[in-house]
Amino acid sequence: MRMRADRWLTTLGVCSRSETKRLIRSGLVQVNGRTIRDPGESAETETDSLRVRGEELDGRTVRHAMLHKPAGLLTAARDSRQPTVMDLLPPVYGSIGCMPVGRLDRDTTGLLILTCDGEMNHRLLSPGRHVDKVYEAEVDGRLTEREIEAFAAGLELSDFTALPAKLEILRAGEEGSLGRVTVSEGKFHQVKRMFSAVGHGVRTLRRIRFGPLTLPEDLPEGAWRELKPEELQALRDAAGME
C-alpha cells in the first residue's frame, strides 16, 4: 500500500503523527537503506524496508492472522474494561486495524480469523454468502437421531428459523455427549440456542473450522500465527473476491 512516511509510522503505532514528523526530520528513519527527511515522502508499506533509530521494523500494514481463542476473552477489536482477543496479538495488529471476523462468545474456544481487509471481513459474514462454520459441542444428556433430524430440518428459535444444519454425534451417553455441528449462518449464540431448543445445555463449544480453514492441530490455545498465502487465497475465494 502506498502511504506517506509519517502516516506509515503512525499507522504502525511507532509514535504520534507530530513525533513521527520530528523523527523523520531528524534523520532517524531510513526507507530501503536511505535516510529520508521529508515526512510527506511516500513509501510502499508491504515491500519497502523500514529502519527507525537504527532498528529494522516489519512495516507491513496489511496482515491476516488466525488465533486459537481461549475461553475468557471478548471477541472485539477493543474494550475499555475487559481483555479482548487482540491482547494475544502483537500491538501492531491493533494499530493497523486488524479486526476479528465475526464473534465467538467469551466462553467459546477455537478458530478465529483476524484481518485488516474490511471488505473481505464483511463479505465472509454476509448472511447471503453462507460460509460454513464447524463447531464441536459438549452437551448435557444423550444426543440421538432425533436431534440430527431436528437440526437438518431447520430449528425454530424464538426470533428466527435456523437454516438446516448438519449434526454428527461423536460420542453419546446419559452423562453427556459430543456433537459436531456445521452451520452456515452466524447469529448470536446460534449453536447454543440450537442445542437448547432440543433440550441440551452446552457445556463447552469449540470452533474447529471457518469456511475453508481448519484449526491446525499444532496451534495451541492462546497461540496465533499469520495466514499462509494459500489460506488467505482460500478465504478470499470463499468471500467471492477477485
- Which residues are tagged catalytic? 105
Our CB check for ligand URA shows the closer of 105 and 132 to be 105
Which residue has 468471500 as its cell numbers? 239
Shortest separation between residue 5's beta carbon and ligand URA, angstroms: 41
Shortest separation between residue 24's beta carbon and ligand URA, angstroms: 44
Our CB check for ligand URA shows the closer of 13 and 102 to be 102
Cell of residue 212, nine digits: 475453508
Our CB check for ligand URA shows the closer of 50 and 73 to be 73
Q: Note whether 102 and 187 are within 8 A (CB).
A: no
For the chain, how far is it from start to end, CA to CA, in angstroms? 18
**Euclidean distance between CA atoms 77 and 52, whole angstroms:** 27
**Euclidean distance between CA atoms 109 and 135, whole angstroms:** 10
Shortest separation between residue 89's beta carbon and ligand URA, angstroms: 19
Q: Is the dihedral of CA 216, 232, 11, 41 positive or negative?
A: positive
Our CB check for ligand URA shows the closer of 60 and 209 to be 209
DSSP symbol at 5: H
Shortest separation between residue 72's beta carbon and ligand URA, angstroms: 13
Q: What share of the chain is helix, strand, coil (3-state, %, to 5)?
A: 25, 30, 45
For ligand URA, the binding residues (CB under 6 A) are 104-105, 108, 189-192, 205
**Euclidean distance between CA atoms 80 and 214, whole angstroms:** 31
**Euclidean distance between CA atoms 15 and 91, whole angstroms:** 13
Our CB check for ligand URA shows the closer of 20 and 190 to be 190
CB-based burial label for 96 (10 Å; 0-12, 13-18, 19+): middle
The phi and psi torsions of 213 (rounded to 5 degrees) equal -105, 135
Shortest separation between residue 41's beta carbon and ligand URA, angstroms: 45
